[in-house]
Homo-oligomer: A and B are copies of this chain.
């Protein structure tokens, strides 16, 4: 029960603890334990850190030549996001975010955004961190991206902002902790800071920024690689253009989650849902159902969910719930007939793959068995029309997308070799 409360504690709305009555049978006698009175739990409001601590933090930032802001999951709450964006408008510095903090940076601040980091340490944001002399880490949970992965050197100066004290260790060793309201402390710092360095204007940062955006003009993203199965970059770029500013997009686990985590942009917090720590195959559709039901009013806006074909079969039967509840969900299956992420790791480790072939399912008919609409697309030239139909459909629609994973292995090999040490 506590965990639910503690999670809830990051949000201003509060929560209600409910208990059920319990009957216990002992030697034929029934003892009834009545339900506990429902308790309206109000999470505590956190305050600002002591002014001495704030002054020390401000000095650290002002003395830094290359400060970088690093946003984690607990910095992706509405009040923290508002404070962070206010800070950046006044004191522009480069920002990276974890997968879970997706959407913390608004479109007007995109010139400060150096992408997401997590899982493999080979992304532009990782290169940026390697240049930093101060990392301002806000709302970060080490389970998002292990500190021993992104901070092998143990030598970065870290300023920790959170309402939870740092889980201090060899790899996550903040010089100073501001424990209290992230929003209040960010705002307080913003107010007292004067001259802050602008590392995004340094050549090295500009070069990383350019590298970060290079893919957008690649033949793959522009759909110029022939009319066969759909390339992930083309899918993502096309979809991003067809969606309203920040719809809820729910990602499953697998190769597609690497593509989406790197290349799908979100501009409002909690609008891109991704499983990282637990790597639970099959989460995309159930999360989409939850997101749809928690809209106000329920099921009022389109929710997108995306999975591989293997992941979809883990929980595809939840379509019955989605349909019965009147959800408004478009689910795209990136279908390559394989457990692709398992396959390329097997090839990497053992020189061949084994037991990864899927296929044999008619997903259109499968969708129809649950009362959902089914669509299918296997050529790049048809993607735009099918995507339009799927996104405009009111109700639950499943789209079987024949995906082009021909470069996945290469990409992953780079992932492993590109390690910054």
Residues on A facing B (Cβ under 8 Å): 1-2, 5-6, 9, 17, 19, 21, 23, 26, 28, 31, 36-37, 39, 41-50, 52-53, 154, 160, 163, 165-170, 173, 175-181, 184, 313, 316-317, 320, 323-324, 349-350, 358-363, 365-366, 368-371, 421
Copies of this chain in its oligomeric complex: 4
Q: Are B368 and A17 interface neighbours, CB within 8 A?
A: no
In the bound complex, how far is the Cα of B155 from the Cα of A37, in angstroms?
10
Contact with A44, one of B9, B53, B154, B317 (Cβ below 8 angstroms): B53
Question: Does the CB pair A179–B44 fall under 8 Å?
Answer: yes
Cβ contact of A360, chosen from B6, B178, B180, B370, cutoff 8 A: B370
Nearest CB of B to A404, in Å: 23
Which of B6, B41, B53, B365 lies in contact with A369, CB distance below 8 A?
A: B365
Is B170 a contact partner of A39 (Cβ separation < 8 A)?
yes
The answer to whether A2 and B168 touch (CB under 8 A), given A181-B50, A369-B362, is yes
* A317 proximity list for chain B (CB < 8 A): 313, 316-317, 361
Of B37, B50, B179, B324, the residue contacting A154 (CB under 8 A) is B37
Contacts A/B (CB < 8 Å), 22 sampled:
A6-B165, A19-B170, A23-B349, A36-B154, A39-B173, A43-B165, A44-B53, A44-B165, A44-B176, A44-B178, A45-B50, A46-B50, A47-B53, A50-B181, A320-B358, A320-B359, A320-B361, A324-B360, A360-B370, A361-B369, A362-B368, A368-B369
A48 contact from B47, B359, B369, Cβ within 8 A? B47
Structural contact, A323 and B360, CB atoms closer than 8 A: yes
Closest chain-B Cβ to A219's Cβ sits at a distance in Å of 34
Contact A50 B52 (CB under 8 A): no
What residues of B have a CB within 8 angstroms of the CB of A361 in the complex? 317, 320, 369-370
Interface of A, secondary structure class, is loop
Q: Specify which chain B residues have a CB less than 8 angstroms from the CB of A23 in the assembled complex.
A: 349-350
Other 13 A-B pairs with CB < 8 A, given A17-B169, A42-B176, A43-B177: A19-B170, A23-B350, A28-B421, A39-B173, A41-B168, A44-B177, A47-B47, A180-B180, A313-B320, A317-B317, A320-B359, A324-B360, A360-B371
Task: Report the bound CA distance from A350 to B160 in whole Å.
Answer: 36
- Decide yes or no: A369 and B371 within 8 Å by CB, A36-B170, A50-B46 being known contacts: no
A-B pairs, 5 with minimum CB distance: A44-B177, A365-B369, A366-B369, A44-B179, A313-B317
A81 to B112, CA, bound (A): 47
Cα separation A313 to B315 with both chains bound (whole Å)? 9
